[in-house]
Structure 1
Amino acid sequence: MPPPPPEVALPEVEPIIPDEEFNETVPDLDAGDDPELDRPLESIEAFERRLAAEQSDAEPAEGSEAPLGDPALADGDPVEEIGDAPISDTALTEPLPPLGEFEVEPVEFAEDAEDRETVEIDYRVAVNGLEDADEETDAAMRSMFNDLSALRDGDGEAANVAMIAARLTEDSELLKRILASEGWYEADVQTRIDRPTDDGGDQRIVAVLDVNPGQRFAFSEINIEAQPTEPSDLIRDNLALEVGEPIVAQRVQGAEAQVAVALPENGYPFAEVGQRDILLDQYTGEGVYTLPVETGPRARFGGITTEGDLAFDAEHVGVLARFKPGELYDASKVDDLRKAMVATGLFSTVTVAPERTGEAVGDGTEYVTVNAEQNAGPPRTIAGAAGYGTGEGLRLEASWTHRNMFPPEGALIVHGVAGTSEQGAGVTFRRSNAGRRDRTFELTAEALRSDYDAYDAYTGRLAGLIRYDSTPIWQKTLTYSLGVELLATAEKDYDFALGRRDRRTFYIAGLSGQVGLDLTDDLLNPTEGFRVTALVQPEGSLEDGFNPYVRARIDASGYFPASESIVLAGRIRLGTIQGVDRFDIAPSRRMYAGGGGSVRGFAYQKLGPLDPDGDPIGGRSLNEAAAEVRYRFGNFGIVGFVDVGQAYASTMPQFDDLRFGVGLGGRFYTNFGPFRLDVATPLDRRPGESRINVYVSIGQAF
């Protein structure tokens, strides 16, 4: 620094220590005052001899070897003795105590000072500038930010301001990514921390993110680089992007995914969607989008092959397939085949994929082979179910199944039931996908003991059935079943001529036919649409000659979604038995009403004609109806319901003396259907009827 100009008057500075005081404090270093300062330094050898003399009584002679480094120092003994050490503590020369008597005093540490109480800083978050977007986009971006924000994840608390600042930095980058995903590629985000004011209001620190979105980029061109397809606009029609719309990442990815799905579903099994390129112009806010697509050859279905640990052969794989050779390739049908194979329950893993053959068809297409790679899993299953109903009591069912004892898909099932009112066992042979997908053939032999208020029966049964049903994979609009049945049953029935219940034996042969129409949206838990099922069973009793008759029933149910969480449901049932007197019908084949699957609020089979003891004896017709309001929240639901019905001695329903039951139910929804608990009470309750009736089962009431 240059000196100040001479004309500047500087203030006088007094010294901190006067010169006289400083000079008196410094000692005089003149050698004449202290002879030690004038003495020459001693040699290292003389220093070591003097040091040894000070540590020992021996006095080494002058000129001898320096004792430093000798273990014995001055005594000349190369073996060091404890006594050599200039230590007077005699304990060092005492022998060590035995190990068993050696005592160790625990080391005591000073107590740690108490940890200081953690101090939390409360803060809130303010995001400014997102409102410049449209209302829908603003809400979507704020929702995404709230889900991923480090500041939001901190629940408004931090250990210090530095932590808040770090979260702000992280969230500013998050906001830039969110804005870019919605088309704002040049957004700027500024952060700051505002201290609370002294106006008595909210005293929390404010973490502020000021957003300047900038311009939003939009498509100016959409280009597709691909070989010609059939039809020619196949790719463009499925790429749901338009010139002029904002460049939104989710829409771009969704459009490309749709192309990747559409091509294999329209004859291009080996199509591949390449990496997009978007060229942005920062001056105009426009983007030129280019998508390369490798379509591969157009193909038709050829043969089916299978390999691996096989559960069944390629011929049966073809039974499960919904495509025929020569049809245009459709990836959705290949995926459907994979699902059908999984649904058999015979595999641990299944892979179904197309393979090129190079064989030309002649119309610009080539054949592809569909190869199913199997890995068979354990074929045996043990299953169980439980339920409870007032009047029925507890019911437990169990089964053992070998699903592929008779390949392909020939299952042997051993099943049993143990309950309060029913016990029995049986064996069933079942061929699934019998010559056609979802067609099932069954043969059953079983023996049952039933003990209900309506009848007491010992029954042997042989039955055969072929049916075409809906499955969780493919819910069919039209279903059917055809069957034959032979029964021998000894049952107690009230004989009005004798005035008591008497056991009689019935031999019954019958046919059954059922057809169903299903236009609902879900097989297990419908929320809209309707179903209709009609059952006709011509049969005859051989007790006293041949007495033919016909049992028939029709069921219909409908479902209406009143809102996203509320469904209104209703059902009706009508039944009749024509051609025979009631007394000539086995009690177990008559019609009854009441119970969890009929009219809730009443015990099982308790509605209809009664004997003098008040026990049901069954009728030849019935009518039932029910209405439910189903409210679902998450995996749980509440149901309010009203049921009505009655069974009659006549062959046609009379629609009089109708009985009503009301109640509430709870539902727990699972992937195999809802678990149901219903509690109901009868209206206008009569003597002998329970006030509360409980029903527990799997599945909706209808």
Structure 2
Amino acid sequence: MAPAQQTPGAPPVEVPPADAATDQPIVSDAEFDAALPALSDDINAPLEAMPAPADTAQATPDDVLTPVAQAEPDLVAPLPTLGSYDTTPPIELADTDDEKTVVIRYDTDVRGLDAIEATGLFNGLSALKEGDGEAANAAMVAARGREDEALAVRLMKSKGYYDGTAISTIEQPAAGDTNGRIKAIVSATPGKVYTLSSVTITADPVTPPDLLRRELPLVVGDRIEADRVQGAEANLALKLPQQGYPFITLGQRDILLDDAKWTGDYTLPVDTGPRSSFGSYSTEGKLAFDAEHVGVLARFKQGELYDNRKVDDLRQALVATGLFSTVSVEPVRTGTPGPDGTEQVNLLVRQQAGPPRSLAGSLGYSTGQGFTAEGSFTHRNAFRPEGALIGTIIAGTQAQGASGTFRRMNAGKRDRTVTLTASANHSNYDAFDAFTGTVSGRISYDSTPIWQKKFSYAYGFELTGTNESVYDFSTLQRERRTYGIFALPGQVLFDRSDSLLNPTKGYRLKLSVSPETAVSGGVKPYARVLVEGSIYQAVSDSIVLAGRIRAGTIPGIDRDDLAPSRRYYGGGGGSVRGYGYQRLGPFDPNGDPVGGRSINEFSLEARYRFGDYGIVPFIDGGNAYEGIMPKGQDLRYGAGIGGRFYTNFGPMRVDVATPLNPREGDGKVALYISIGQAF
């Protein structure tokens, strides 16, 4: 034992010598055990009160237990309600828009990310940048800086810099700086970039054997960048279903980094599923048509190698019928062997037929034609599949009529349409006044917004009876004649433009031929021929130059033996703008147009578009002639400007034009309002 230390100036302390008596216990074990209170055998029984000392007179305050309620009354008091608490946030969390809140302004300085081209991405995600240079206090600025430290590290790793570090600091304003803005600095140190040392795909054999490696564009030496790796995997998941593997599933990639060599071993597990070919179709849900008609819409045959692009095309064709509120196409395994070792896939079409009936209307105006209002009622699936009934009424200032049409879309072949129409119309123009009844049929193979075809065609028949006013040059007066006309119209179109509704490049060539026979005091066969070409060329992102030429002839019949409604006329919104409808061509002595057997026209437009709007200056020219050959002389010109409002179904058009070399009786201004470009 160390000797006792004595404080200087204190009286000496005597330490008794150690002997046997000092080693005896102060309280014996027996006495201690006897002093313990008896315990109950029931562990759940309440504790008994501690007994007071036998000699209460000698008890001290420490010997008596004071009840809790008396010693600490707050401990037994009821808790206050939540509404009584002060919920005002601390100043570092307070809304900085509060005028009473102290605002610290700061500038953000990002260093080290320019070298890896990550500064722009950092600025878009930064907490400091999002704060717009304002915070409640320095603690908030520091917290944002710590968030941006982690952001900078994530961005560096996404660029392949897995050893990158970042630190944020706050720099106080320099002495004498009256600006008072602190500077938040985020400094990044990318370090060395990691590259791929190996690329491994674990999968069952595929056909062709190099398919997986070919469609996963990662090679040894590539940087281990997140965008590069994810893009390569997305390409694999995209291309395999296009080449016979619709059930491919990518597993979780593994990249084992070697920080001594700054490289990584990349491994990707892939479950390709069976190599598949197209098989059967099935449908479920509220059906608009059956599985057999689904096969008509498909642009592939049974046994062809599976390609999900063709499945997407089928889905779009189903949507384009307008018969569904929802529709989906899903490949389903069948286990049935197909050609070339494939497994046939069943395409399950889940349908939810929508309302088949619709009402539509349109309104237009042009000088010479006046107002034209058209309304229609359509039942798109009255005769399944896709057999529509259409009723149309035309009510205009110069044209009235009604028609009924049966139309079957995708009739035995995708995009082939069969149409039967019966109509009765009255047309009252300067050129003629006609009451006409027509029965016609047409078969067409048309372009659609889903599948714009290079080559399309139409052919059919037309049986027309018409009573028309016609000027008789032999009697020098107008009279009414009745004509019976039988025609076999046909049309072919070669289309290399980039859009059906609003082309910006390419060209179109169209030929229309209609052999006809007119019966009016005799049988007179003839033919109506019309050739038209248009071209479109973009000269900038917002300007497209467009041009059109048209020429037509009607050989085999004299003009005066031809029904006025079958002759050629120039002028109007789809012809030479600036002149009234059908006002170009020969006139009778009364100054009314009588039409001709030939026509030529041209149009030039500069289509300037800005957003959903456009401005189109244009010039048109042309004329109609009595003979069967159009002439290059006597052309009439019109010029003007138009406005366009572009919608998802095509542009709405308003054109204002004036004739440049008018004749007596031509108006000074012509107005045209319609839907679609002029050509």
Letter in 2 for 1:543: S
Say whether 1:346 aligns with 2:323: yes
CA-CA distance at 1:610 after TM superposition: 2.4
Per-residue Cα deviation, 1:412-457 (whole angstroms, up to 9, x for no partner): 1111122222221111000111111110100001111212222222
Q: 1:690 aligns with which of 659, 667, 674?
A: 667
Q: 2:355 aligns with which of 378, 381, 385?
A: 378
2:87 is matched with none
Return the alpha-carbon distance in structure 1 between the equivalents of residues 182 and 580 of structure 2. 66
1:79 is matched with none
Per-residue Cα deviation, 1:136-183 (whole angstroms, up to 9, x for no partner): xx3xx4443444444555555556655555554444444444443333
1:568 is matched with 545
- Structure 1, unaligned runs of 5 or more: 1-114
Letter in 2 for 1:342: V
Per-residue Cα deviation, 1:516-541 (whole angstroms, up to 9, x for no partner): 11122222222222111110011121
Q: 1:308 aligns with which of 285, 295, 299?
A: 285
Q: Which moved more, 1:450-459 or 1:532-541?
A: 450-459
CA-CA distance at 1:651 after TM superposition: 0.9
Change in 2 beyond 3 A, CA 1:276/1:318: same
Q: 2:313 aligns with which of 328, 332, 336?
A: 336
Q: Which moved more, 1:498-507 or 1:319-328?
A: 498-507
Letter in 1 for 2:111: N
Q: 2:234 aligns with which of 257, 268, 283?
A: 257
Change in 2 beyond 3 A, CA 1:175/1:599: farther
Q: 2:427 aligns with which of 421, 443, 450?
A: 450
SS in structure 2 at match of 1:262: helix
Q: Which moved more, 1:168-177 or 1:446-455?
A: 168-177
Letter in 1 for 2:324: F
CA-CA distance at 1:480 after TM superposition: 0.6
- Structure 2, unaligned runs of 5 or more: 1-97
Letter in 2 for 1:128: R
Say whether 1:637 aligns with 2:620: no
Change in 2 beyond 3 A, CA 1:204/1:369: same
The question of whether the paired residues in 1 share the 8 Å contact of 2:277 and 2:339 is answered with no
1:130 is matched with 113
1:471 is matched with 448
Q: Identity over the aligned pairs, expressed in percent? A: 57
Letter in 2 for 1:682: P
Say whether 1:481 aligns with 2:458: yes
Q: Which moved more, 1:406-415 or 1:359-368?
A: 359-368
1:492 is matched with 469
SS in structure 2 at match of 1:251: helix
Q: 1:408 aligns with which of 385, 409, 412?
A: 385
1:529 is matched with 506
The question of whether the paired residues in 1 share the 8 Å contact of 2:636 and 2:662 is answered with no
Return the alpha-carbon distance in structure 1 between the equivalents of residues 615 and 227 of structure 2. 37
Change in 2 beyond 3 A, CA 1:210/1:539: same
Change in 2 beyond 3 A, CA 1:206/1:439: same
CA-CA distance at 1:660 after TM superposition: 2.5
2:71 is matched with none
Return the alpha-carbon distance in structure 2 between the equivalents of residues 179 and 641 of structure 1. 55
CA-CA distance at 1:345 after TM superposition: 1.3
Return the alpha-carbon distance in structure 1 between the equivalents of residues 124 and 450 of structure 2. 35
Letter in 1 for 2:628: T
Q: 1:326 aligns with which of 281, 303, 316?
A: 303
Letter in 2 for 1:544: G
1:97 is matched with none
SS in structure 2 at match of 1:578: coil
CA-CA distance at 1:481 after TM superposition: 0.5
Per-residue Cα deviation, 1:89-138 (whole angstroms, up to 9, x for no partner): xxxxxxxxxxxxxxxxxxxxxxxxxx9577766655443333323xxxx3
Return the alpha-carbon distance in structure 1 between the equivalents of residues 460 and 253 of structure 2. 59
CA-CA distance at 1:192 after TM superposition: 4.2
Change in 2 beyond 3 A, CA 1:119/1:701: farther
Alignment of 1:224-373 (within 5 A): 224-361=201-338, 363-373=340-350
Say whether 1:185 aligns with 2:168: no
CA-CA distance at 1:373 after TM superposition: 2.2
CA-CA distance at 1:401 after TM superposition: 0.8
Return the alpha-carbon distance in structure 2 between the equivalents of residues 289 and 523 of structure 1. 47
Q: Which moved more, 1:426-435 or 1:184-193?
A: 184-193
The question of whether the paired residues in 1 share the 8 Å contact of 2:109 and 2:186 is answered with yes
Change in 2 beyond 3 A, CA 1:126/1:401: same
1:541 is matched with 518
Say whether 1:519 aligns with 2:496: yes
CA-CA distance at 1:186 after TM superposition: 3.6
Q: 2:485 aligns with which of 487, 494, 508?
A: 508
Change in 2 beyond 3 A, CA 1:324/1:118: same
Say whether 1:459 aligns with 2:442: no
SS in structure 1 at match of 2:382: coil
Return the alpha-carbon distance in structure 2 between the equivalents of residues 577 and 122 of structure 1. 82
Change in 2 beyond 3 A, CA 1:288/1:646: farther
CA-CA distance at 1:459 after TM superposition: 1.3
CA-CA distance at 1:308 after TM superposition: 2.2
Alignment of 1:533-682 (within 5 A): 533-682=510-659
Return the alpha-carbon distance in structure 1 between the equivalents of residues 670 and 169 of structure 2. 65
Change in 2 beyond 3 A, CA 1:234/1:116: closer
CA-CA distance at 1:596 after TM superposition: 1.8
Change in 2 beyond 3 A, CA 1:631/1:170: farther
Return the alpha-carbon distance in structure 2 between the equivalents of residues 176 and 127 of structure 1. 13
TM-score, length basis structure 2:
0.80
2:411 is matched with 434
2:37 is matched with none
The question of whether the paired residues in 1 share the 8 Å contact of 2:303 and 2:339 is answered with no
Return the alpha-carbon distance in structure 2 between the equivalents of residues 382 and 352 of structure 1. 29
Per-residue Cα deviation, 1:633-691 (whole angstroms, up to 9, x for no partner): 33333323222222222211101122222333332322222222223333234443333
Letter in 2 for 1:244: G
Change in 2 beyond 3 A, CA 1:276/1:394: farther
Return the alpha-carbon distance in structure 2 between the equivalents of residues 453 and 253 of structure 1. 69
Change in 2 beyond 3 A, CA 1:269/1:592: same
The question of whether the paired residues in 1 share the 8 Å contact of 2:551 and 2:601 is answered with yes
Q: Which moved more, 1:530-539 or 1:415-424?
A: 415-424
Change in 2 beyond 3 A, CA 1:522/1:116: closer
The question of whether the paired residues in 1 share the 8 Å contact of 2:513 and 2:528 is answered with yes
Return the alpha-carbon distance in structure 2 between the equivalents of residues 192 and 691 of structure 1. 75
Return the alpha-carbon distance in structure 2 between the equivalents of residues 599 and 200 of structure 1. 73
Change in 2 beyond 3 A, CA 1:377/1:117: same
Q: Which moved more, 1:319-328 or 1:480-489?
A: 319-328
Return the alpha-carbon distance in structure 2 between the equivalents of residues 619 and 202 of structure 1. 84
Say whether 1:422 aligns with 2:399: yes
Q: 1:388 aligns with which of 358, 365, 370?
A: 365
Letter in 2 for 1:467: S
1:88 is matched with none
Return the alpha-carbon distance in structure 1 between the equivalents of residues 139 and 587 of structure 2. 83
Q: Which moved more, 1:246-255 or 1:567-576?
A: 246-255
Letter in 2 for 1:228: P
Return the alpha-carbon distance in structure 1 between the equivalents of residues 180 and 476 of structure 2. 89
Change in 2 beyond 3 A, CA 1:354/1:446: same
TM-score, length basis structure 1:
0.77
